[in-house]
Each structure stands twice: as C-alpha cells, then as structure tokens.
Amino acid sequence: MITIVISACLIADPGVCKDHRVPLMQNIEPSQCVQNALPHFAGWAASNPGWEIKRWRCTTASVDEL
C-alpha cells in the first residue's frame, strides 16, 4: 500500500513537528502517488487545524512500519 507521509509542525509552536500518514487506495502505483497527493492535503489540513504542512513524501507501507 502506498502512503503519503505529511511532515507538519504546530502553528503555535513551530518547534513541535511530527509525521502524519495518509494511506491511499491499495491499487495505486507508486508513480501515481505524486499526481494523487495534492487533494489529500486540503482534507488533512481541514481535519488537523493548528498544523502547517512543511513537506511530504510518498512511501510504501512496509517502509512506514520500520
């Protein structure tokens, strides 16, 4: 499974940052993740007020589990 890893920091305390994982559909190819990632950012931001996205990456679930 392909996952978007969003690295975000608290707006009120920019020194507090963490990674948040957004799983994508199981049948998506890794090369399609970049094309399909953008719409997920708005939904994530709406669900996580007070956090600011600093960077993001696409990865596989097996890498996330390490």
Q: What is the pLDDT of residues 18-35, one digit of tens each?
A: 999 988 877 777 778 888
Q: Which residue has the tokens 């950012």?
A: 41
Distance separating the N- and C-terminal Cα atoms of the chain: 14
> What is the band of 62 on the pLDDT scale with cuts at 50, 70, 90?
low
User: Global pTM?
Assistant: 0.79
The count of domains in the chain is 1
Find the DSSP H helices in the chain.
Answer: 30-47, 61-64
pLDDT tens for residues 37-54?
Answer: 888 898 999 999 999 999
The residue segments making up the domain with residue 58 are 2-64
Confidence band (pLDDT; 50, 70, 90) for 11?
A: very high
Nearest to 53 by CA among 2, 10, 1: 10
